[in-house]
Structures are given as structure tokens and as C-alpha cells.
């Protein structure tokens, strides 16, 4: 994203994960809190065609609370994430103890492995991963509450009034928790399915052939009641979700999920079959991790001969084997058999819950029901990892129970300890990658080089390492030449270095690959203007202002950029003295600007155009509008002060200049304008003080230095004036006016031969300047009177 301020400052955009917080208006207290219910995770209305449809109002609310506590200081956000992970681990430990009450090794190993699992680093260390951690907490709350509900209804549904109230309270708590989980992240709704699996296969201990009897037999009324409540909640939640998000599905870039964009059904199928196997491997061996797996970081499977198909086959074979084991266990049951009646039965229960926790929350990410905007996302494995850890812990318990010697048990304990330490070490190492953005992007180069190099270049550029940034941008493009964002950011880099031709070429390439990229159009217009190609710049600005924004990921920025294009078009006309035309464009921008656009600069420039036409009443109205929108807008203070001075309201004018100085005491422009005002009312001493302050703040700005020298001369501070004229000459040695004024000051200060040298240099640069010639004649006449020979 870019913002064009009064001085055309250009800013780079933020990664999507950062945009969910830093540029999300819903995080700010100024946005009505009710707006969280209608916007997606990035602050875009859900009904907009460019919305990601990610509906997570509770997560955004938590960011808002963090902002109220510490604004954008990252520490509080990270501490909150860690605290949530601790809470999730605690709840998972309660679940493991409930499911395996007599298996100490299982109920100890499972939560420890979960706590240290490296796959969680993104969800905990990455602030936006809070959605997954928060959803997991409510998910576990729903499951534990539903298990209590099932416990209250053991035996039959008839009982005391207190028992019925308690049972319904636990059911209500489960449904509310599942809703909160979904409002934290979408896949939290799968808590309802896991609750159903627990009720049917673990609590009621039904065999597959008994499932239909739930609807017909009185003895299963408790199960029917629970499943009816879960089903009704599922229908209501999905209906509300669809109603809020609108009828349009989200749109994703082909780079986000290349397989979904592939025309071949065979390639799509083979790739989608493999991705769960890849995720399973990350759960088992989380060594190779990345912040981003898009852009074919995992190449498409285009042939049945691809060896990765063996991994797919292995996964589904293992799942089939586990399913068959569970089914055989279920078939041997008698309905209502107590879970503690035998280890085989308990083993089936734990396996059912482990598979349910691992598979059901992962289903939305499989592309089975709808395409998703990612290939692999480590954070979405936060809840499924509970199932994996539970199965590993239970497997360790079974091995321990079957171990015939103490040595075998010690070896098993040692293996679990080593696994925990390996997980902890990898998590510690991965946290170092997440400590800074530069570390994170460097760590992803081996997995996703185009995305990693592109993001790394942004970081290097922001650190002032321009040569390294340019190398990284070009490296990213060497892997994937059609990345519009990288071309755009490289264009910004060239523009900052005043390499305008190269910047222009990069902006054109960005537009070629993304024709509706308003930011590239806007900056191309800026570059054309700087190159003096004003007609071409005006054409680009106008085209930018008319770009369609439907279906774009960041419609707020797109619409704001279109208004910025009109703003800069108006400035282009104003700079050419065509103020009437500039006013027309500015007013068009005012009519079209979206509610989130910050219009103070636009209003200020509109007032400036009226001021130039000496329509002072209109100018004053727009200056005041700018100040109403943003009371601390310094440029409006300065321009309004100039207007009041022009209208001979001197006292009021000075008050506005004083306010500007209070708001920005270290802004050289403020002191420059204040000094100009004081000079115009002939308060030369005070004017000189402000110009000196401005010169101290901006020692390389020629205009400020030169004007400071002039004002010091008017105040009679000739020695200081001489020093500043010398500084002006150093800044612009080819500027004849600098040498002429230095000569005049030296002349006044009695340094006649130095004055003559400055006059001669001024005439060398501008031979026909009559004032310099006259001053030189006077000087030489004075030299003659003093009997001093001229230098030449």
C-alpha cells in the first residue's frame, strides 16, 4: 500500500499478516465496535467482492484490546499469544486426562508434546496466528462441556429437575463455546462434529449398525437429543455465516493455491490427495518449516509416476487401517458397555477421539468442499496436532503396557524424552526465525525463494540497505518474473534513488501483470511528473482514478489510491497555474472519496487553489474543513495562517503559526513559514530567529539557507548573514544568485577583495546580470578610493 501525503511521500505495503492489524481500521477504537460483525479479518466488508470472507470478529476484538493497552507495540500482542497457548495446553491436558484416566504416560506425554510442538510456532509467534490458538481454546471448551453434558445424561434422560437444568447448562455451554470458536476462526465450527463423534462412539458406545436406531429407539433418546442440538446449531451457524458473507465465494490468486487454478482434473486430484500427507509429515517431523508455502513451493503432481504419490498412498493406508481397527472394536461392543471394562474398548475410544480431533478440524483445509487460499498453512494444524499428540501418547501407553522388561520401559521413556527435547529445540530454533522479519524471510528462502526474497527486499530497503534490496528484488524476479508487487516495490526503490527511467519500467511491468494495480498507476504518474512529462502523468492519473476495484483483496487501499490519483492530478494542474481546473478535480475527489479516506490534505489543497484565485472566503472554508477533520494537521495551520495574514488579520495569523510550532517544533517548514510571515510584517529580528532554526533543522535545504541569509541581512545581523550566504554557495556552487548575494554581504562587511571575487564568479555564471555589474563597479570605485588594486 502507498499513501501520498502533502510532500508525495511513498510508503511500501505491509504483508497480509501485518495488514490484519496495522492497517485494519477495526482494530482502532475510533471504529464502531459493531463494525467487527460486518467486516472480514482485514477490515473489508464481507459483502465486498474483494473480501477474503475470513470472519473472525473475536480475534479482531482481541487485537483491539491489545491496541487499547499498548497501541502497536508488539510485546503485549506476543505475551497475549503465549498466554493463550498456555491456556490451550492446560485445557488439552484436562481432555487427555479425561480420555485416558488410567494411562498416566499417555495423559502426561500428550500435553507435553503439544506444548512443545514446533508446528505451533507460527500460531504463537506470529500475532495473527492468535485466531487458531483462540479457536482451539473455545474448541476444547465446547468438547469438555459436551462431555460433561453426556456425563449428566448417563443412563436416561429423566431425572431430577436440578439434573435436567445442569445437563442443559452444559449443553448450552458447549454450543456457545463452539459458536465462539467459529467466531474466532472459521474451522472452529468443526467442534460440533467432534462432539457428535464423542457422543455416538465414546459415550453411547454405539456400533455402526446401531446408528439408525438413534432415530427409532427410546433407549437412545439422550443421543438423539444431543445430536439434534448439535445439528440445529450447525445449521443456524452456517446459515448466519452465509447470510453475513453474502452469496459470492472468496477469490484467490492462482499463486495462493496453484492446484485449484490448474485445468487438469488429474493434476488437481493427485496434488490435493498429497497435501494431507504433507501436513501429516509436518506433524510427525516438523523440521522443514516456512512462513509461506504458496507459489508452487510444493510443486504440482503432474504424473502418477511421481514418487510423492507413495506418501499419499501410505497416509490413506494408515488411516484405513486405523479405521478398520476402530470399526472392529466397535463391532465387538455391546451398547452401553462401560469404557473402563477393557483396554481394547478404551483403546478404541482414544483412537476415535484422536482421529476425530486430527481429521475433522482439518477437513475445511483439504479443498474437498471448497477451494482455500493456501497450499499449506502451519497454523491451521494447531487443533489437528491435538489428535496427533493424543494418538502418540496413547501409542506410548500401549507399548509401555506390553513391555516385558524394565529396560524396555526405560528405553520407551527415553525415546519420549528425546522426542520432547527435539520438539523443544526445534521450537526454540524456529522462534529465533520469527524474532524478526528479516530472520523469518531468510529462513524461507530454501522453501519459497520468490516470496522470501521479495519480502526480504522490502525489509532491507526499509533498513536503508538499498543495494542489497535491489539484489533481493531481482533475485525474486529471477524465480518468478510475473510478481507485480515485486516489480512495484523495485520501482519504488528506483524512484527513491531518482532512477526514474528504471522506476517507470518497473511500474509498467507491475501494471502488465496486474492491470488494475492502482498503486503502480499512481506512482507511475508521480515519476512522469518528476520527469517533466506532465501530459502523460495527467493521463495516467485520470486512468488510475477510473480503475475498477471489484474482486480485489484490499478494496480500501484501492479506493483511497484512486482519490490520491485525483489529488495529484489537481496538484499537477495547480503547479501549472491552472487553478480553476485544479479546483474541478479536487471537488471531483471530494465527491468520490470513500468514508475511510483521510481528506485533510485534499481539503487543504482545495483551499490553497481558492487562495491563489483570491477567493478568500472559499479558501477559508476549506482550510477550516481540513482542520475539522484533523485538528493537528500542520500544513492546514500554515496555509490558514498565510490566508489570515493576506486578509490583514495579523493577530489571528500569528496564533495559527504559533499553534503549528507547538505541534511540530522540529519541522523546518513550520519555522520557514513563520519566519516568512514575520518578515512580511517587518519583524525582522524574530523572523531571523525562525529562519536560523529552520536552517539548523534542514542544513542541506538551499532555499531555507538562502532565505535565512536574506532575513539575517534585513535584521542587521550581517556576520551571520555572511555565514549563511557562504553555506548557500557551498550547496549550489553553480547558482549565480548565491555568489552575487555573498559578494554584496562581503561588500557590506568590508571584505572587499573577497566580495570582488564573488561578483566575478557570479558574472562568470551569468555574464549579463546588471545588478552584479553595478555592484562590481561600485566596489571597484571604493577600492580605487582606498588605493587598493583590484584582483583582476
Contact 588, 566 (CB under 8 A): yes
Return the C-alpha cell found at 395. 501409542
From CA 711, how far away is CA 728, in angstroms rounded? Answer: 14
Q: How far apart are CA 239 and CA 708, in angstroms?
A: 69
DSSP state of 202: I
* Per-residue pLDDT at 652: 95
Q: Is 80 exceeded by the pLDDT of residue 160?
A: no
Reported as type and span, the H/E element at residue 18 is helix 16-19
Report whether 372 contacts 364 (CB < 8 A): yes
Mean pLDDT, the chain, integer: 90
φ, ψ of residue 217 in degrees (nearest 5): -100, 135
Cell, residue 146: 459436551
Instruction: Kindly state the cell numbers that stand for 358.
Output: 486430527
Contact (Cβ atoms closer than 8 angstroms) between residue 358 and residue 388: yes
For 3-41, the pLDDT digits (tens) are: 223 333 344 444 545 667 888 889 999 889 999 998 888
Neighbouring-strand partners of residue 39: 45
3-state helix/strand/coil string of 316-367: HHHHHHHHHHHHHHHHCCCCCCCHHHCHHHHHHHHHHHHHHHHHCCCHHHHC
pLDDT at 750 exceeding the cut of 50: yes
Question: So what's the pLDDT on residue 328?
Answer: 80
- Supply φ then ψ for residue 39, to 5 degrees: -110, 160
Range of weakest confidence among 91-95, 343-347, 566-570: 343-347
Q: 187-196: string of b/e by CB count within 10 Å (b at 16+)?
A: bbbbbbbbbb
Residue 540 host element (H or E): helix 534-545
At 335, list the grid cell.
451398547
Lowest-confidence pick of 319-333, 488-502, 525-539: 319-333
- pLDDT for 335: 52
For 424-469, the three-class secondary structure string (H helix, E strand, C coil) is HHHHHHHHHHCCCHHHHHHHCCCCCHHHHHHHHHHHHHHCCCHHHH
The predicted-structure confidence for 529-583, as pLDDT tens digits, reads as follows: 999 999 999 999 999 999 998 777 788 889 999 999 999 999 999 999 999 999 9
As a whole number of angstroms, the distance between CA 511 and CA 204 comes to 61
Q: What are 623-671's pLDDT values in tens digits?
A: 999 999 999 999 999 999 999 999 999 999 999 999 999 999 999 999 9
pLDDT digits (tens, 9 = 90+) for 168-187: 999 999 999 999 999 999 99
- The CA distance from 73 to 52, in Å, is 26
Domains of the chain, by residue range, sit at 79-433
| Per-residue model confidence as pLDDT tens digits over 418-440 | 999 999 999 999 999 999 999 99
DSSP letter, residue 553: S
Give residue 166's pLDDT: 82
Q: What is the pLDDT of residue 208?
A: 75
Rounded to the nearest 10°, the torsion over CA 386, 392, 397, 398 is 130
Q: Residue 13: its pLDDT value, please?
A: 46
Overall pTM surpassing 0.75 (yes/no): yes
Average pLDDT over residues 471-478: 97
CA dist 183 → 135, 175, 241, 275, 586 (Å): 8, 12, 10, 26, 42
For residue 127, give every residue at least 6 positions away whose Cβ sits within 8 Å of its Cβ, in sequence order, or none.
17, 21, 63, 74, 77, 78, 81
Residue 507, all three cell numbers: 511500474
Closest CA to 434 of 296, 290, 226, 563: 290
Closest CA to 580 of 552, 610, 551: 610
Q: In the prediction, which pLDDT does 348 show?
A: 81
- In the chain, the percentage of residues whose pLDDT exceeds 90 is 75
Band (pLDDT 50/70/90 cuts) for residue 374 is confident
Predicted pLDDT of residue 792: 60
Residue range 357-373: average pLDDT?
A: 88
Residue-level pLDDT at 388:
96
Amino acid at each position: 500500500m502507498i499513501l501520498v501525503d502533502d510532500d508525495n511521500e511513498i510508503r511500501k505495503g505491509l504483508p497480509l499478516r501485518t495488514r490484519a492489524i496495522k492497517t485494519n481500521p477495526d482494530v482502532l477504537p475510533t471504529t464502531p465496535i459493531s463494525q467487527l460483525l460486518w467486516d472480514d479479518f482485514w477490515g473489508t466488508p464481507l459483502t465486498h467482492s474483494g473480501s477474503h470472507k475470513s470472519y473472525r470478529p473475536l480475534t479482531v476484538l482481541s487485537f483491539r484490546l491489545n491496541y487499547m493497552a499498548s497501541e502497536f507495540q508488539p510485546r503485549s500482542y506476543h505475551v497475549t499469544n503465549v498466554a493463550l497457548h498456555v491456556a490451550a495446553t492446560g485445557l488439552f491436558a484436562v481432555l487427555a486426562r479425561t480420555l485416558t484416566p488410567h494411562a498416566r504416560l499417555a495423559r502426561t506425554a500428550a500435553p507435553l508434546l503439544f506444548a512443545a510442538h514446533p508446528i505451533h510456532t507460527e500460531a504463537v509467534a506470529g500475532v495473527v496466528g492468535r485466531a487458531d490458538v483462540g479457536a482451539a481454546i473455545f474448541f476444547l471448551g465446547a468438547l469438555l462441556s459436551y462431555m460433561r453434558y453426556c456425563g449428566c445424561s448417563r443412563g436416561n434422560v429423566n431425572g431430577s429437575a436440578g439434573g435436567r437444568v445442569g445437563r442443559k447448562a452444559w449443553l448450552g455451554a458447549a454450543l456457545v463455546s463452539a459458536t465462539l470458536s467459529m467466531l474466532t476462526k472459521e474451522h472452529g465450527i468443526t467442534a460440533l462434529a467432534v462432539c457428535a463423534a464423542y457422543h455416538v462412539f465414546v459415550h453411547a458406545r454405539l456400533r455402526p449398525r446401531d446408528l439408525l436406531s438413534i432415530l427409532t429407539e427410546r433407549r437412545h433418546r439422550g443421543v438423539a437429543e444431543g445430536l439434534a442440538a448439535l445439528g440445529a446449531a450447525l445449521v443456524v451457524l452456517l446459515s448466519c455465516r452465509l447470510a453475513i458473507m453474502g452469496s459470492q465465494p472468496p477469490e484467490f490468486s492462482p499463486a495462493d493455491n496453484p492446484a485449484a487454478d490448474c485445468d487438469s482434473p488429474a493434476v488437481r486430484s493427485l496434488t490435493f490427495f498429497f497435501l494431507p500427507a504433507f501436513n501429516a509429515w509436518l506433524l510427525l517431523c516438523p523440521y522443514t518449516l516456512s512462513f509461506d508455502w504458496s507459489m508452487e513451493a510444493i510443486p504440482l503432481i503432474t504424473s502418477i509416476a511421481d514418487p510423492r504419490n507413495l506418501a499419499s498412498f501410505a497416509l490413506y493406508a494408515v488411516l484405513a487401517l486405523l479405521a478398520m481397527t476402530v470399526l472392529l472394536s466397535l463391532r465387538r461392543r455391546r451398547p452401553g458397555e462401560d469404557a473402563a471394562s477393557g483396554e481394547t474398548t478404551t483403546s478404541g475410544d482414544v483412537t476415535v477421539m484422536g482421529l476425530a480431533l486430527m481429521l475433522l478440524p482439518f477437513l475445511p483445509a483439504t479443498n474437498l468442499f471448497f477451494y482455500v487460499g493456501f497450499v499449506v498453512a502451519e497454523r491451521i494444524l494447531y487443533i489437528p496436532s491435538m489428535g496427533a499428540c493424543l494418538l502418540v501418547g496413547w501409542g506410548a501407553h500401549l507399548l509401555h503396557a506390553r513391555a516385558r522388561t524394565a529396560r524396555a520401559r526405560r528405553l520407551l521413556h527415553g525415546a519420549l524424552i528425546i522426542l520432547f527435547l527435539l520438539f523443544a529445540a526445534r521450537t526454540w530454533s524456529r522462534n529465533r526465525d520469527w524474532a524478526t522479519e528479516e530472520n523469518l524471510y531468510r529462513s524461507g528462502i530454501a522453501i519459497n525463494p520468490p516470496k522470501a526474497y521479495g519480502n526480504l527486499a522490502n525489509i532491507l530497503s526499509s533498513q536503508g540497505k538499498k543495494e542489497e534490496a535491489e539484489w533481493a528484488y531481482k533475485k525474486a524476479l529471477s524465480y518468478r518474473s510475473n510478481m507485480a508487487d515485486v516489480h512495484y516495490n523495485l520501482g519504488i526503490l528506483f524512484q527513491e534513488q531518482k532512477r526514474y527511467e528504471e522506476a517507470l519500467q518497473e511500474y509498467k511491468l507491475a501494471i502488465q501483470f496486474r492491470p488494475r494495480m492502482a498503486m503502480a498507476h499512481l506512482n507511475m504518474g508521480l515519476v512522469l511528473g518528476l520527469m517533466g512529462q506532465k501530459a502523460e502523468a495527467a493521463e495516467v492519473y485520470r486512468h488510475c482514478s477510473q480503475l475498477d476495484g471489484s474482486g480485489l483483496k484490499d478494496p480500501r487501499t484501492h479506493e483511497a489510491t484512486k482519490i490520491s490519483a485525483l489529488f495529484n492530478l489537481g496538484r499537477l494542474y495547480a503547479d501549472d497555474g491552472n487553478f480553476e481546473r485544479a479546483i474541478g478535480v479536487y471537488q471531483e475527489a471530494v465527491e468520490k472519496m470513500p468514508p475511510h479516506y483521510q481528506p485533510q490534505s485534499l481539503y487543504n489543497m482545495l483551499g490553497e487553489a481558492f487562495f491563489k484565485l483570491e477567493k478568500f472566503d472559499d479558501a477559508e472554508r476549506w482550510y477550516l474543513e481540513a482542520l475539522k477533520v484533523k485538528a493537528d494537521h500542520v500544513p492546514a495551520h500554515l496555509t490558514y495562517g498565510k490566508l489570515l495574514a493576506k486578509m490583514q488579520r495579523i493577530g489571528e495569523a500569528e496564533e495559527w503559526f504559533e499553534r503549528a510550532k507547538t505541534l511540530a517544533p522540529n519541522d523546518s517548514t513550520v519555522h520557514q513559514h513563520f519566519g516568512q510571515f514575520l518578515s512580511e510584517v517587518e519583524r525582522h529580528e524574530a523572523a531571523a530567529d525562525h529562519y536560523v532554526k529552520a536552517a539548523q533543522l534542514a542544513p542541506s535545504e538551499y532555499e531555507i539557507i538562502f532565505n535565512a541569509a536574506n532575513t539575517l541581512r534585513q535584521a542587521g545581523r550581517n556576520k551571520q548573514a555572511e555565514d549563511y550566504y557562504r553555506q548557500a554557495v557551498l550547496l549550489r556552487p553553480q547558482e549565480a544568485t548565491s555568489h552575487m548575494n555573498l559578494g554584496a554581504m562581503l561588500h557590506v562587511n568590508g571584505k572587499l577583495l573577497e566580495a570582488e571575487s564573488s561578483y566575478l564568479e557570479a558574472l562568470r555564471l551569468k555574464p549579463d546580470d546588471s545588478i552584479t555589474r553595478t555592484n562590481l563597479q561600485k566596489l571597484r570605485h571604493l577600492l580605487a578610493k582606498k588605493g587598493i588594486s583590484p584582483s583582476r
